[in-house]
Amino acid sequence: MHTRVSAFLLFAFQLAAAAQQQYLAQSDDAPAHLVPDDPIAQAVLSRALADGIDLPAYAFSGPALEEIVYWSHFNSSELPGSLVHSAEGVEAIDVHAHYAPKWYSNARQDSTEWHLQEHLELMANHSIAKSIFSVPNPNIFPGDKGATLAVARLLNENMAALSKALPDRFGFFATNPLPHVNASITEAQYALGSLGALGVALSSNHDGHYLGDRLFAPFFAAMDDHQSIIFLHPTEPLLEVNNTLIKANPTTHSPVLAEFYFETGDLSAASDDCSSDVGQPGQC
C-alpha cells in the first residue's frame, strides 16, 4: 500500500504571487469583539482539550477564537452577489490558495493579511470557481509541540468556519502538526471526519524532518486508511544541530526564490533509504 502524494505546485505560482499581493493590499475587516463566552468558542476549546491541546496557554488563541466565531456567524448575503457566486461557465478550482488570518500572521510576525473581498475579486479576475485553502506549515514555533498543536487546531477550525460561510466558493486541506505523529493522526482524523477537510496539507520539512523520515510511517499509514488526498508544499527546511533547530537555506536568497524549488525533490532525505515511496522505507 503506497501513499499517493499529489503535488500541485508549479502551475499555481502566478496565482500565489497574485494572492501574496492582495494579502498586503488592505487592512482591517477583522472581527471586533472579544468572545470568551461565545458557545462556538467554548465548543472549540473543549474539543481541543479532549484531544490534549491546551489553547488557553497561548496568546494567539484569543484572536483566533474571535476569527472562528466571526466566520461562524458570517452571512454571505452581506456581500455583492457577483462575488458570492461564480460566473456562468467558470469551473476552475484553485487547489493552491493560502489562507493567512491576521492572528496567524501576527503569531508568525509577518505582515501578510488575507481579506475576503479581495480574495473573491482575485477569484473572479482569474475565473476561479472555488479555492481550496491550505496552510501547510504550522511549525511557526519550531520545537514547541504544544504551540504547534494549538496553531494547527486553530487553523483547521478557522478554515472550516470560513469554508462553511461560503461553501460553494471555499474548501480546505487540513494543517497537520508534524513531526508530532500521534497528534497529527488525531488532527487529521478530526479535520477530515468532523470539520469537512478535503485532504491534508503537508510541508516538505517539519521541524527538521523530511517526509521520508521513517518516524512518519504511522501517519502515512493512517492517511492511507482514510484514502486522504495529500497536498504537498515546499518550505524552508530546518536542521537539528546540537539539539537546536536552525534554518538550513543553503543560499543567500529568500527561500521563496531559491530553496523552495528543490524541496519537494528531497522527500526521502533524512531517511536512511533511497525509496521515493513516502513513509515506506527500505524499498530501494
Which of these, 115, 133, 103, lies nearest to 24 by C-alpha position? 115
Least Å distance, CB 125 to ligand NAG, is: 4
CB of 241 to ligand NAG, least distance (A): 5
Give the footprint of ligand NAG on this chain (CB under 6 A).
22, 75, 77, 118, 121-122, 125, 182, 241-242
Q: Which is nearer to ligand NAG, 60 or 216 (CB)?
A: 216
Report the largest interatomic distance among the alpha carbons of the chain, rounded to a whole angstrom: 58
Closest distance of CB 242 from ligand NAG, Å: 4
How far apart, in whole angstroms, are the C-alpha atoms of residue 200 and residue 191?
A: 9
Cα–chain center distance at 137? 6
C-alpha cell at 198: 478535503
User: Do residues 201 and 174 touch, judged by C-beta distance below 8 A?
Assistant: yes
Q: Which is nearer to ligand NAG, 6 or 125 (CB)?
A: 125
- Cβ proximity to ligand NAG, 19 vs 44, nearer residue: 19
Strand residues in the chain grouped as ranges (E): 92-98, 128-134, 170-175, 199-203, 205-206, 209-210, 230-233, 238-241, 244-247
Cα atoms in the 13 Å half-sphere on the side-chain side of 280: 15
Min. distance of Cβ 214 from ligand NAG in angstroms?
Answer: 14
Residue 25 or 274: which CB sits closer to ligand NAG?
A: 25
Q: Which residues contact 46 (CB under 8 A, 6 or more apart)?
A: none
Please, which residue, 22 or 176, has the CB nearer to ligand NAG?
22
Looking at beta carbons only, is 87 or 274 nearer to ligand NAG?
87
Q: How far apart are CA 74 and CA 69, in angstroms?
A: 9
Q: How far is the CB of 165 from ligand NAG (least distance, A)?
A: 10
Q: Which is nearer to ligand NAG, 59 or 93 (CB)?
A: 93
CB of 136 to ligand NAG, least distance (A): 23
CB of 276 to ligand NAG, least distance (A): 26
Amino acid at 231: F
User: Are 273 and 264 spatial neighbours (Cβ–Cβ below 8 Å)?
Assistant: no
Reduce the DSSP state of residue 29 to 3 states and report it: coil
